[in-house]
Amino acid sequence: MSLAAGISGLAVALLILLGIPIGFALAIGTLAGQVFKGQSSLLLLPLRMFNGAESFPMVAIPLFILAGQIMNHSGISKRLVDFASALVGFIRGGLAHVSIVTSMFFAEMSGSAVADAAALGTVLIPAMSRKGYPRAFAAAVISSAATVAIIIPPSIPMILYAVTAEVSVAEMFIGGIIPGILFGLALMGVSYALALRYRFPVEQSFRLAEVWRSFRSAAWAFTVPLIILGGILSGVFTATEASGVAVVAALVVGLFIYREYDLRTLPKTLLDSAIQSAVVMVIVAASAYMGSFLSNEQVPQRLAQAVLSLSTNRWLILGLLNVVFLVAGMVLHSAAAIVMLTPIMMPLVRAAGIDPVHFGIMMTVNLGIGQQTPPVASVLLTTISIARVTLAEVFRYLPYFLAAMVVVLLLVTYIPALSLGLVSLVR
């Protein structure tokens, strides 16, 4: 590894530890490396930072956030919870299953796990608490279930990965469907086992008429995911176009069909979406700047050579990458980890003959686990603040869910067909 790249890496690490926002730390560290190389072309800095943020595929990020928030304020959560209750409320530990299934439906509308945890946690944690579930258990369920949001499309981390790794966003979305369902089922399995052990109640008996009634009430809420998935799967829309259509559809459903969306909240929603995307995009732009510097320094290529000289076994390399991402996921936000690590890892991934879509899905599932593991655990911390429980209390239940997630991660890692099966239908 070149000295300049080493210096810039070290600078980034120190600046992040000093508490400087990750995006600015990346840019400053890169600049330090360039100055050390004597490439004092300071005028490149604003150009690179601007060009890193100026990306049409990434336009999907603010628009998916916007569509999700409009749906959130349109009274769909209530209807989705009703539908999920009719569907899985009869299983022991009913509300836990309802939370997980609602979260899977919700995941089709929003691409952010923190948003899901906040939206569902405020409704379902008090409900579970009233039914006699421990609040800490409720928090563990909601927090783990919210992670499905980044695996089931649309998914903001997947957009970030697809653009950085130069693969199709649509293929990533399609690849996430089966792993996402698997993830949900694994969490339901854990909830069932815990429900038996702690004698959690059943919610309601299963009646087909009730399923149908609640489905009809919730049906409009499904139009948005239908447009997104249908449009992208059939190749009619690009992901960005789908995000734009999703905003329009969400407004139509909220304003004219459910009539629960208050247009006066739109300016604040626009502002929130702007800031949430900006916070991610600053890191994206700075990473692009750093990425181009590192590949000039041949860092990713040398990393690939170094690893491949040790072993060319694809399964071993995938295992190794998983360990790297699990560690990265503990100390970095998933978005930051993706845009920082993807450019460095891609030459290795391609040289080892790993399908980049399979790798991307694996990385997403892996970093989903990272959202649950302190010190940086955005989803978990959001949820426990809603549930008003401590980290220690949640950790009475959370390890069971984490274990299930690791099992899913191993399945996704070592059975590529789970990610690539559906993708091969459209390739």
Partner 1 sequence: MRLYRGMVRAVEYLLMLLTGALAVVVPTGVFFRYVLGAALAWGDELGAFLLAWITYLGGVVALDRGGHMAFDNLVRKLPGLWRQVAEAASDLVMAAFFLLLLWSGLHIAVQLAGQQAISMPLPMGAVYGVMPLASGLMVWVLAHKYATAWRRASAGAAQAPEVAAGLAGGHGLAAHGQLGGAAVKVQAAVEAAEEAVGQ
Residues that bind partner 1 (CB under 8 A): 15-24, 27-28, 31, 42-43, 45-47, 49-50, 53-56, 58-59, 62-63, 66, 236-237, 240-241, 243-245, 247-248, 267, 270-271, 273-275, 277-283, 285, 331-333, 335-336, 375-376
Task: Provide, rounded to whole angstroms, the least separation between the CB of residue 263 and partner 1.
Answer: 12
- For partner 1, which is the closer residue by CB, 267 or 353? 267
- For partner 1, which is the closer residue by CB, 245 or 348? 245
Q: How many residues does the chain have?
A: 427
- For partner 1, which is the closer residue by CB, 32 or 172? 32
Q: Are 380 and 394 in contact (CB under 8 A)?
A: yes
- For partner 1, which is the closer residue by CB, 19 or 38? 19
| Count of CA atoms in the C-beta half-sphere (13 A) of 387 | 31
- For partner 1, which is the closer residue by CB, 28 or 181? 28
- For partner 1, which is the closer residue by CB, 248 or 411? 248
Task: Provide, rounded to whole angstroms, the least separation between the CB of residue 404 and partner 1.
Answer: 27
Task: Provide, rounded to whole angstroms, the least separation between the CB of residue 182 and partner 1.
Answer: 29
Task: Provide, rounded to whole angstroms, the least separation between the CB of residue 257 and partner 1.
Answer: 18
Task: Provide, rounded to whole angstroms, the least separation between the CB of residue 40 and partner 1.
Answer: 11
Task: Provide, rounded to whole angstroms, the least separation between the CB of residue 168 and partner 1.
Answer: 17
